[in-house]
Amino acid sequence: MSETNLYPGLNLGDGHGEAHDQAETTVFGFWVFLMSDLIIFGILFASYASYLDPIGMAGGPGPQDLFDFKSVAIQTAFLLVGGAAYGDVSLAVKYDQGRGKVAAWLLLCAALGAGFLFFEVKDFITQAGKGGTPQVSGWLSSYWTLVGLHGVHVLSGILWIFAMIAQIATRGLDGVVKVRLSMLGVFWHFLDLIWVGIFSLVFLVPLA
């Protein structure tokens, strides 16, 4: 039997039988859902760009006053390494390396995500301290909404990871759990994709 790719990304493979086939529909559906989510981010990016001018900033603090580029670089590192770590979750599932390994890699992903969130929230607090709250200007509203929404996504991803660990512990790595881990993988990498956009457009463009 040849290795078939039923949906974009790392497939479970024929060895997983029904779970592999079920993943075709379910993971495809999740891709579709993320495309919808991508539109949400796309509109928020466009809005951010439209408020990124002196009128939108309305005399409030601007990017030069608020952004800490070093912290952003650290956040990027946390998130992207977290993405690589999820690759190991997928491989551990695909090659049947056991529940323990899957859970360990998942926990590492959650820890890296939490590290990202720690620095992001720290930045938000610093910015608010400098008078950069979202109530100050249209630009700050759009900045907090866009970056905050991404942060909420990361938080949801971490909660999802814990939900998956609970499922692995109680019901084991059955077909349904494997399919859900594939979906979580797509979601987790999706967060990296959005972050690359945020890193470039939100932080690099105004500071350049």
Partner 1 sequence: MSQQTSPIFGNLDWSVTPYTDLLRDVNSSTIVGAGAASVLVLGALFGIVLLTWMRWWGPLYRNWLTSADAKKIGIMYIALALVMLARGIIEGFVMRAHQATALGTLAQQESGLVAPDHFAQLFSTHGTIMIFFVAMPLLIGLINFVLPQQLGARDMAFPVLNQVSLGLTAVGAALVMISLLIGKFGTGGWTMYPPYTGLDFSPGEGVDYWLWAILISGMGSTLTGMNFAVTIFKSRAPGMHFMRMPLFCWTSLCVAIMLIYAMPALTVSSAMLALDRYADFHFFTNDAGGNMMNYANIFWMFGHPEVYILILPAFGVFSEISSTYSGKRLYGYTSLVIASMSIAVISFTVWLHHFFTMGQSAGVNIAFGIATMIIGIPTGVKIYDWMATMWRGRIRVTAPIVYLTGFFLLFVIGGLSGIILANPSIDYQVHNSTFLVAHFHNVIIPGVLYGMLAGIHYWFPKAFGFRLSERWGRRTAFLFVGGFVFTFMPLYVLGLMGMPRRSPTFQNPDFMPWMYIAAFGGVLMLCALASLAWTFWTSYRNRDALAVPGGDPWNGSTLEWSTPAPVPEWTFPRIPHVTARDDWGECKRAGDPWRAPDEYRDIEMPANTAHGLLIAGASFGLGFAMVWHIWWLAVLSFLAIPAIVALRAMRVIEPRIVKAAEVELADRRFRQQVASFAPATRADEETERNRGVPDLSEFAG
Q: In angstroms, rounded to a whole number, what is the distance separating the alpha carbons of residues 143 and 68?
A: 14
Cβ 29 vs Cβ 195: under 8 Å: no
Q: How far is CA 174 from the centre of its chain?
A: 25
- Subset of 73-92 contacting partner 1 (CB under 8 A): none
Residue 193 is a binding residue for partner 1 (CB under 8 A): no
Q: Which residues contact 203 (CB under 8 A, 6 or more apart)?
A: 63, 67, 69, 72
Q: How far is CA 18 from CA 12, 84, 96, 176, 178, in A?
A: 10, 27, 15, 9, 11
| Range list of H helices, the chain | 18-51, 54-57, 63-66, 69-94, 99-129, 138-171, 175-197, 205-207
* Segment interacting with partner 1 (CB under 8 A) among 74-82, 105-113, 137-145, 189-197: 137-145
> What six digits make up the tokens of 100?
């323990």
In angstroms, how far apart are the furthest CA atoms of the chain?
65
Among 3, 129, 135, 208, binds partner 1 (CB under 8 A): 135
Q: How far is the CB of 46 from partner 1 (least distance, A)?
A: 8
Name the residue among 82, 45, 77, 44 with its Cα closest to residue 190. 82
Residue 159 is a binding residue for partner 1 (CB under 8 A): yes
Cβ 151 vs Cβ 178: under 8 Å: no
Residue 136 is a binding residue for partner 1 (CB under 8 A): yes
Q: How far is the CB of 74 from partner 1 (least distance, A)?
A: 28
Site string for partner 1, 2-41 (x = CB under 8 A): ----------------------xxx-xx--xx-xxx-xx-
Among 11, 75, 76, 142, binds partner 1 (CB under 8 A): 142
Residue 139 is a binding residue for partner 1 (CB under 8 A): yes
- Subset of 89-108 contacting partner 1 (CB under 8 A): none
Select 26 or 71, whichever has its Cβ closest to partner 1: 26
Residue 55 is a binding residue for partner 1 (CB under 8 A): yes
Residue 198 is a binding residue for partner 1 (CB under 8 A): no
Where on the chain is the footprint of partner 1 (CB under 8 A)?
Answer: 24-26, 28-29, 32-33, 35-37, 39-40, 43-44, 47, 50-51, 55-58, 60, 134-142, 144-145, 159, 163, 166-167, 170-171, 174, 176, 180
